[in-house]
Structures are given as structure tokens and as C-alpha cells.
């Protein structure tokens, strides 16, 4: 029926069949045939990055801000090894990515050829699945399967390695519809959960006296409707709810039931409520160690319900009483129908007492700070950024470190898919390329990378990408000349010996921006801050805003490693007790 195509043409046809609009990539010897086919078509836009690591983070930003699959195209050898960090990041944070790598021609595989590496071997543990395609006739079916796997169940990255001779060879193309993927290869994810566990869970919820919802990034992956359903269920029960770093935005931050983020730098009231609760309803979170703190004293008196699409997350670190395997959207619907069918009512009196307790904890005002002198406090900078951008559709990305935690604490997220941060892997250098990806997907909206002075330098070359593609991303650097989080840990755990955490010879970020033909702004004093933020967000250019902040500021509240949820430090003056400090030292 159809004419034979070259492997490279099949790649492009598969991508457009899958509805791909944008790919992020960097050319090289082993992908030249694909770049040649790319040149001859107009439906797919290519964003040229400056280093492959940037391409994959940009694809992550694109995917997380849209819910679509991010696509990456890089060459063999160093091209492939440079995407390994991003693949691992996408694996940890469940981001759907399809990454295409070139490979040396088949007759050279295994000969240590120029720019050869064992790509599928290297990326096996950091992808959901990967392929080395040796037969051009299988190329299209591999692509269709790869897209299905990336998005199916718990999303993740899939890599397709294509030897150069396969890109040149001619073969037949199979349509997406015709291509039947064997069921077992898609994990046959249990979308609808077991009715019995739903009944048990709902009954437990109805009888709870000190309940809490613990909401994670799985809700965002399940789609906007899932977030709405979760919010409705929180309202129906009037239970308090806390969100993980990945789950911010599922429930609006301004919602009266929201206790904000929990975990190591989470809210005091959220962590205390997690510790003291009698029923915990985990929706799409995975009991990450940043959340649980010390395991043997994690929420010791609660019955735990855990909803997750990935069975391997159940009982991985915390044993739960009612595991529910399923997609959150359908599980929440099942919750509602069971709730209504049984005409369950919550225990209002007990709940009132619980809320009174929580309100007592809130009075501590764990995020309180004083901005009195002229040096800008980082908390104040984020607060102002939020106030001045809250009325616009704003996407926030971050790098990793203190600025990331301050952003999570002080920027209030009202909607899902607006907050893009590297949670599981904690990849410095994530924010700028992720912002580029988000801006590509949302050209009219405001995209801000809240960065630190150390992190931003890890992928600063992507400034060039942003300017070339006219992507007006805003980089808001909280500059304290330190790797702030490293310094904070050295202060708390290593006697204030700041080994290699001070950055000497930082660039002049304003001049740096200008050298990329972008706009550079700076605020040194508190009275300059608002003007800089306004100028930044009103500019149509790519902007770096260099905000000089108080150098010694630390990120609080904090549960130090080895401590439990009810042992938070609220400020510098408090110290962790010696025994847990010693134990905590060995932990990450």
C-alpha cells in the first residue's frame, strides 16, 4: 500500500503519527540521516539546545507543563551519555519521555568505534524500557510501543537506540492503529481498584478521628480531573490535606483544608498532623525519605491507606494497612460512589477537635520571618515574586537547593502542572532547561526559573537556546554566593566547616545575560526588589534577575536526618539532640 521509507523517514512519520509537535535535540554523526529527514518536513519543530543534558530537562519541562510526552533526539556516544542524568531524573519523577539516540552502524557495534557506547546497557536501569532497533521494518512498531509504554501506568522515560545503517535502510511503515502491542508489555495496569479495598478504605475514612490526606505527584500524573476529584473528596470529608514537593498544586494552596507541603522542609502543622494522625490517606505519593524522616517513628499510631498505580511502591518503605492499586482518577470516582452508596458521614465532633489542634500548631507560624534591614531575605524575595505574578498564568521551575525549598514554601500553587522541580533525583541545573521546555509549550505564559547562583551555572549554556528560540524565560537567581543547602548541612552537621561550598569568582550575572543578548537585572537592596521583579515579568526578552540575598540565611523549618516528624527545628537556635544527630550524619 505505502511506499517503502528509509529508517530516518519512519522515525519522523512515527513521531508525527504520535502527535509530536516539538522535539528537543542536538545533532551528531550517528543521527545525521534523521536530521536530514527533519530538514525536509515542517510539521515537527526542533529546539536546538546547547548540551544534550539540556535537551532532556527541556523535554521534561515540556511534558510536565502539558501532560504530553517529551521527545529528545541526540547522537551516539557522548550524546547518549549526556542524557543519562535526565533519564534518571524522569524515571524518579515519573515523567513521560521518549529519547531517540543514534548508534554507530551495526557492523561497528562492539568494536569501540568513534562515538560508540553501549547505550542500551548504560540506560537500562534509568529507563522504563529501552530498545536497540536492528531491523528497519520493526522501527515503527518499536516507536508506537515506546510511546505507549512511556505514558502507560506510572509514566517514565523510554529510549530508542537506532544504528545509523538502520536509519538509511528502507522498510515498511506500520500505522499506529494497526500496531497491536502485546498486553503484558504494557504492565496491564490495574486502572480500577479492587472494590473490597475501596469499601474498607472508605469505612476507615468515615470512622477517622484524626485523619490526614497525604497527596503526591501521582495525582498530577493522573490528569487535571484527578486533582479536581481529590479536591472534591477533601471538601466532602473536610479533612486536612498536605502535599509532597511533587504534589504541590493538586489542592490549591489557598484552600482552607491545605496544610501546605510536608517533609524535611515542610510545614510544622503538616508534619505534626502526619505524626499524630489516626488515619493517613496517601494518594499518589511514595513515602519518600524526604517525607517520612525517621522510619521507626513515622506516624506511629495511624492506619494507612495507600493509593498508587505502581504495585512496587506498596510496602516499599512503609507497611500500609489498605493498599489500593489503581489510577487515582478512577479510584477517586470509586471512593465517591462507595461513600454515597453507604451514606457515610464523617465524625464531625472529633474532626472539630482535630482541627483545633491543627490550628494550635499553625499558630507557631513556622514560615514567619522578619524583613527588617536593607539586605533582601530570600523568603521575602519569593513572597514578592508570588504577589507580583499570582494574577498571571505562571509556571515556576527550580534548580535544587535552598532556593527550591523556599520556592516550595513561599510560592503558592493553585493549579497542577504549574510547578516543575526535580524532586526524586534532585538535579541541579534542571530549572533553566525545564523552563525552556515549559515556555515552548506555553509561549504566551510567564515561565520563571527560581534558581540559585550555584545551580544556574550547571546548565547556563541554555541561555543561548532560550535567546535563539525567542523564549522569554525569566531566571530569578537567589544569589548568596554559596551552595546554600550544602553550607546549611555543613553548619548543622559538620561544625561549620564550609568545605568547598563557597563559590568564588562567580560571573557578573547581568553582564552574563547581556553577553547572551538577554536582559540582565540586579537587586541589591530590599527597596529595589519590586521594581526588578516588575521589569523582569513585563519584559518580552529572556531575563536574568540577580537577587542578592542574605548570605547566612538557612532554610527552616527542618526535620534533620535521623529525626521524626515531631522533632522539627524551627530556627537556628534550636539544635537536634546529639544522639539523633550522630545517627543522622550518615544519612543523605
List residues near another protein by CB under 8 A: 120-121, 124-125, 128-129, 132, 149, 184-185, 187, 289, 292-296, 310-312, 314-317, 319, 562, 583, 586-588
Catalytic residue from among 9, 52, 399, 462: 52
Do 245 and 347 form a contact (C-beta atoms < 8 A)? Answer: no
| HSE-CB for 82 with a 13 A CA cutoff | 26
Of the pair 246, 381, the CB lying nearest another protein is at 246
CB of residue 261 vs another protein: minimum separation in angstroms? 20
- Which of 184, 348 has the CB closer to another protein? 184
Give the number of other CB atoms < 10 A from CB of residue 526: 17
In the residue annotation, 128 being an active-site residue is answered as no
Q: Which of 164, 329, 383, 474 is catalytic?
A: 164
Catalytic-labelled residue, pool 92, 405, 485, 536: 485
**Which among 461, 442, 350 is positioned nearest to 66, based on CA atoms?**
442
Query: CA dist 35 to 54, 147, 397, Å?
Result: 18, 20, 30
CA-only gyration radius of the chain, Å = 25
Least distance from C-beta 22 to another protein, angstroms? 26
Contacts of residue 215, defined as CB under 8 A and 6 or more positions apart, other chains included, come to 230, 241, 242, 243, 244, 247, 250, 251, 283, 284, 285
If one counts every other C-beta atom within 10 angstroms of the C-beta of residue 291, the result is 27
Kindly tell me which of 36 and 289 has the beta carbon lying closer to another protein.
289
Could you tell me how many residues make up the chain?
588
Residue 492 Cβ, how far from another protein at the closest point, in Å? 17
Name which of 424 and 562 has its Cβ closer to another protein: 562
Closer of 25 and 584 to another protein (Cβ): 584
Catalytic status, residue 485: yes
Task: Give min distance, CB of 587 to another protein, in A.
Answer: 5
**Conformation bin of residue 424: beta by default, left when phi > 0, alpha when psi is -120 to 50:** alpha
State in angstroms the smallest separation of the CB of 102 from another protein.
19
Cβ distance 255 to 231 under 8 Å? Answer: yes
Q: Which residues of 265-405 form beta strands (DSSP E)?
A: 279-283, 303-308, 322-325, 394-398
Is the torsion defined by CA of 296, 298, 301, 304 positive or negative? negative
Best CA proximity match to 291, nearest among 565, 582, 93: 565
Separation of alpha carbons 244 and 238, rounded Å: 19
Please tell me the distance from the alpha carbon of residue 415 to that of residue 405, in angstroms, as a whole number.
18
Residue with smaller CB distance to another protein, 99 or 537 = 99
Q: Cell 510536565 appears where?
A: 64
Are the beta carbons of 29 and 115 closer than 8 angstroms? yes
> Shortest CA distance to 547 belongs to which of 521, 581, 518, 567?
521
Quick one: angle between helices 139-151 and 7-17, nearest 10?
30
Q: Minimum distance from CB of 74 to another protein (Å)?
A: 20
Q: Which residues of 137-158 are buried (b: 16+ CB within 10 A; e: fewer)?
A: bbbbbbbbbbbbbbbbbbbbbb
- Catalytic-role residue among 21, 68, 106, 115: 115
360 is catalytic: no
Q: Which is nearer to another protein, 265 or 384 (CB)?
A: 265
254 burial via Cβ count (<10 Å: 0-12, 13-18, 19+): exposed
Nearer to another protein, 120 or 501 (CB): 120
Smallest separation, CB 313 to another protein (Å): 8
Query: In whole angstroms, how close is the CB of 554 to another protein at the nearest point?
Result: 23
Distance CA 281, CA 302 (A): 10
Helix (H) / strand (E) containing 8:
helix 7-17
8 Å CB contact between 324 and 305: yes
Residue 312, classified by CB atoms within 10 Å of its CB into exposed (0-12), middle (13-18) or buried (19+), is exposed
Q: Which is nearer to another protein, 294 or 304 (CB)?
A: 294
* Nearer Cβ to another protein (86/562): 562
CB 139 within 8 A of CB 4: no
Q: Shortest approach of another protein to residue 127 CB, angstroms?
A: 10
CB of 521 vs another protein, minimal distance in Å: 41
Which residues participate in catalysis according to the annotation? 52, 114-115, 164, 485
Amino acid at each position: 500500500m505505502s511506499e517503502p521509507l528509509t529508517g530516518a523517514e519512519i522515525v519522523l512519520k512515527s513521531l508525527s503519527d504520535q502527535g509530536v509537535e516539538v522535539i528537543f535535540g542536538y545533532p551528531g554523526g550517528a543521527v545525521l540521516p534523521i536530521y536530514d529527514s527533519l530538514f525536509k518536513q515542517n510539521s515537527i519543530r526542533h529546539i536546538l539546545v546547547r548540551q544534550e543534558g539540556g535537551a532532556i530537562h527541556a523535554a521534561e519541562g515540556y511534558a510536565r507543563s502539558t501532560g504530553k510526552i517529551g521527545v529528545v533526539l541526540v547522537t551516539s556516544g557522548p550524546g547518549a551519555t549526556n542524557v543519562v542524568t535526565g533519564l534518571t531524573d524522569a524515571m524518579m519523577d515519573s515523567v513521560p519521555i521518549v529519547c531517540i539516540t543514534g548508534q554507530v552502524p551495526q557492523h561497528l557495534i562492539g568494536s569501540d568505534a568513534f562515538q560508540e557506547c553501549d547505550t542500551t546497557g548504560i540506560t537500562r536501569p534509568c529507563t522504563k524500557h529501552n530498545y536497540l532497533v536492528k531491523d528497519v521494518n520493526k522501527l515503527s512498531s518499536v516507536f508506537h510501543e515506546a510511546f505507549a509504554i512511556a505514558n502507560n501506568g506510572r509514566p517514565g522515560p523510554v529510549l530508542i537506540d537506532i544504528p545509523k545503517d538502520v536509519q538509511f535502510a528502507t522498510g515498511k511503515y506500520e500505522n499506529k492503529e494497526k500496531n497491536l502491542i502485546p498486553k503484558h508489555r504494557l504492565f496491564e495496569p490495574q486502572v480500577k481498584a479492587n472494590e473490597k479495598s475501596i469499601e474498607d478504605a472508605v469505612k476507615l475514612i468515615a470512622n477517622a478521628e484524626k485523619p490526614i490526606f497525604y497527596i503526591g505527584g501521582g495525582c498530577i500524573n493522573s490528569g487535571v480531573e484527578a486533582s479536581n476529584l481529590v479536591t472534591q473528596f477533601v471538601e466532602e470529608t473536610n479533612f486536612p490535606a498536605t502535599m509532597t514537593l511533587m504534589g504541590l498544586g493538586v489542592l490549591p494552596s489557598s484552600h482552607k483544608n491545605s496544610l501546605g507541603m510536608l517533609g524535611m522542609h515542610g510545614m510544622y502543622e503538616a508534619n505534626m498532623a502526619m505524626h499524630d494522625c489516626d488515619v493517613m490517606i496517601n494518594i499518589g505519593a511514595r513515602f519518600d525519605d524526604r517525607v517520612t524522616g525517621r522510619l521507626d517513628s513515622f506516624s506511629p499510631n495511624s492506619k494507612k491507606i495507600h493509593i498508587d498505580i505502581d504495585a512496587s511502591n506498596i510496602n516499599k518503605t512503609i507497611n500500609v494497612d489498605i493498599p489500593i492499586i489503581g489510577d487515582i482518577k478512577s479510584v477517586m470516582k470509586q471512593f465517591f460512589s462507595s461513600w454515597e452508596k453507604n451514606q457515610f458521614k464523617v465524625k464531625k465532633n472529633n474532626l472539630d477537635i482535630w482541627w483545633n489542634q491543627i490550628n494550635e500548631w499553625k499558630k507557631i507560624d513556622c514560615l514567619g520571618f522578619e524583613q527588617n534591614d536593607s539586605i533582601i531575605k530570600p523568603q521575602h524575595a519569593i513572597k514578592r515574586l508570588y504577589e507580583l505574578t499570582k494574577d498571571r498564568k505562571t509556571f515556576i521551575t527550580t534548580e535544587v537547593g535552598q532556593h527550591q525549598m523556599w520556592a516550595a514554601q513561599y510560592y503558592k500553587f493553585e493549579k497542577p502542572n504549574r510547578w516543575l522541580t526535580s524532586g526524586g533525583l534532585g538535579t541541579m541545573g534542571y530549572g533553566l532547561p525545564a523552563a525552556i521546555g515549559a515556555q515552548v509549550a506555553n509561549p504566551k505564559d510567564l515561565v520563571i526559573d527560581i534558581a540559585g547562583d550555584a545551580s544556574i551555572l550547571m546548565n547556563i549554556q541554555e541561555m543561548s537556546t532560550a535567546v535563539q528560540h525567542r523564549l522569554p524565560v525569566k531566571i530569578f537567581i537567589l544569589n548568596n554566593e554559596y551552595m546554600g543547602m550544602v553550607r546549611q548541612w555543613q553548619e548543622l552537621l559538620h561544625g561549620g566547616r564550609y568545605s568547598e561550598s563557597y563559590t568564588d569568582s562567580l560571573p557578573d550575572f547581568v553582564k552574563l545575560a547581556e553577553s547572551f543578548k538577554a536582559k540582565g537585572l540586579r537587586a541589591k537592596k530590599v527597596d529595589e526588589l519590586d521594581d526588578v521583579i516588575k521589569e523582569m515579568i513585563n519584559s518580552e526578552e529572556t531575563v536574568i534577575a540577580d537577587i542578592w540575598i542574605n548570605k547566612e540565611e538557612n532554610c527552616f523549618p527542618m526535620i534533620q536526618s535521623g529525626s521524626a516528624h515531631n522533632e522539627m527545628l524551627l530556627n537556628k537556635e534550636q539544635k537536634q539532640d546529639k544522639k539523633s544527630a550522630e545517627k543522622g550524619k550518615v544519612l543523605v
